[in-house]
Chains A and B, each alone.
Chain A
Amino acid sequence: MSDAHGHSADHPADHFSHHVRRYLFVFYALLFGTIITVAASYIPFGHRALNIGVALFIACGKAFLVAGYFMHLISERKMIYGIMAFTAFFFIGLMGLTLWAMGDFPFNTVRH
C-alpha cells in the first residue's frame, strides 16, 4: 500500500503532518486551477477548439492532483494499477469509437 496508508493508527502523528502539508498544497493548487480554468475561458484563443483544449488540459492536471494525492494513486499497490490500466484501456477505446463515429454520420442525418 502507499506510504500514507501502510501505517497503523498508532503511527507517530508527525509523520502524518507531512502528508497534511501535502494535502493542503494540493488543495491550494486545485483552487488555483479552478480560477485559471475560468479565466482561460474568457480569453479568445482564436478558435473554440483551442479553448476546449486548454480547459481540458487544466482539468486533466486537476484530476491528476485529486487522483494522485487525495486518492493516493501516486503510490499504490500493483493491483490497483492493474484495475486502472484496464479502465484506461476501455475508456480510451470508448472515446476512440466516439471520435471514429464522428466522421461517419449517415447521409441526411436530422440534426437538432
Chain B
Amino acid sequence: MDIPYTVQPRQDTGLYNAKVGIWLFLASEVMLFGALFSSYILLRVGAQEGYWPHGWLNIPVGTANTIVLITSSITTVMAWASLKMNNFGKFKFYHACTILLACCFVGIKSYEYHDKFTHYSIKLADGNIADGHLVEKSKDFNLEQKTGDIVIHGHKVDLNNKQGEELQKELKKIYDIRSPEGREVKHEELKISAAQIASMETYGPWHNTYTAIYFTLTGLHALHVIGGALVIGFLWGPGSKMWKTDPERFTNRIEVSGLFWHFVDLVWIFLFPVLYLL
C-alpha cells in the first residue's frame, strides 16, 4: 500500500505530510534548545561576580566552525535546488560537500573538546591555583598516594587573603582571558609534585556551571549534526536510488532533511556568540 501525500499536498494543509511532520518536530526542537538556553541564562545571571568565564573558548576556531556550518547550509539548499532543476550530478556534488563539511565541523569540535579535557585546574596545598594544559604526567603519578609529578604549560594564581577589587583582578587571570589582566598572564612550564596538590580536575563538564552548560549545549548540538549527516549520507548514497523511480518524492525527502540541517545551523548561530564571544 502506498503512503499517501508523499508528493501531492493534502487539501486541508496544502502540504505533503512529511513537511508538516518535520515542522512539528522542529517546533519541539525549538523548545528543547529553548529550555537549555533558559538554563544558561539562569546559570549565568546566578553566577557569583567574577566567576563566569569569558574567553575560555578559542574564537578563531569557533568562527571557522561557524563558517563551515553556514557553508554546509548553502550546499544543502543548492543540492535541493539542483534536483528541482533536474540536475542529479550537481545534487551529488553539493551533498557530498555537505557531508564533508559536517565531518569537518565534528572534527573541529572534537579538537576543542580535547583542548578542554587536557586543560587542568590544580588547587595547591598552599591555596594557590595552577592552571594550564597538560604537558606530561610521570609514570608513577598518583594523587591519592602523593607520588610522582605533573607538568603543565600555564600559570599560577594567588587567591589567598584577597578580597574585593584585588580578588576580582586576580580572578580575571583565570576567568576573563580577554581582560587586560587575563592577557598579561605569562604562561610557562610548571612542574608540580603530587605532594603539593590538594585537588585537581580538567575543564570537563564537572569543572563548573559554565563548562557543564557548554558541554550540554554543544554536545547536544553535535549529536544533531551527526544525526543529520547520517540521514544526508543515506540520501546521498543508497537512498538516492529513489531518484530513478520517484524523483519528486526523493526531492521532497531532500527538502525535509535540508530543513533539519538548516535548523541545526540556526541553533549554532545563537550558540556561537553566547558561548564564545559574550
A interface, CB within 8 angstroms of B:
1, 4-5, 7-11, 13, 16-17, 19-20, 23-24, 26-27, 30-31, 34, 37-38, 41, 48, 51-52, 55-56, 58-59, 62-63, 66-67, 70-71, 77-80, 83-84, 86-87, 90-91, 94-95, 97-99, 101-102, 105, 109, 111-112
Interchain CB contact under 8 A, B85 and A48 = no
Interchain CB contact under 8 A, A55 and B42 = no
- Chain A interface helix/strand/loop/mixed: helix
Nearest-CB residue, chain A, relative to B277: A41
Q: How many residues belonging to B are interface residues under a CB distance threshold of 8 Å?
A: 58
Contacts of A9 in B (CB 8 A): 83-84, 86, 247-248, 251
Contacts of A86 in B (CB 8 A): 27
Contacts of A5 in B (CB 8 A): 255
Partner of B34, one of A11, A24, A91: A91
Those 4 A-B pairs whose CB atoms lie nearest each other, nearest first:
A41-B277, A55-B273, A98-B38, A27-B74
Measured CA separation A33–B38 after assembly (Å): 24
B30 contacts chain A at the CB level, 8 A cutoff? yes
New A-B contacts (7) at CB < 8 Å, excluding given A58-B273, A63-B266: A20-B81, A26-B74, A56-B273, A66-B262, A95-B41, A99-B41, A111-B51
Interchain CB contact under 8 A, B46 and A79 = no
Interchain CB contact under 8 A, A98 and B48 = no
Nearest-CB residue, chain A, relative to B49: A111
Measured CA separation A39–B251 after assembly (Å): 39
Stretch at the interface among B8-16, B147-155, B157-165: B8-16
Interchain CB contact under 8 A, B14 and A70 = no
Partner of A87, one of B31, B86, B87: B31
Interchain CB contact under 8 A, A16 and B247 = no
Interchain CB contact under 8 A, A98 and B255 = no
Contacts of B15 in A (CB 8 A): 1, 77, 79-80
Measured CA separation A67–B78 after assembly (Å): 15
Measured CA separation A34–B64 after assembly (Å): 10
Enumerate B251-275 residues with CB–CB distance to A below 8 Å. 251, 255, 258-259, 262-263, 265-266, 269-270, 272-274
Contacts of A101 in B (CB 8 A): 42
Partner of B277, one of A7, A8, A38, A83: A38
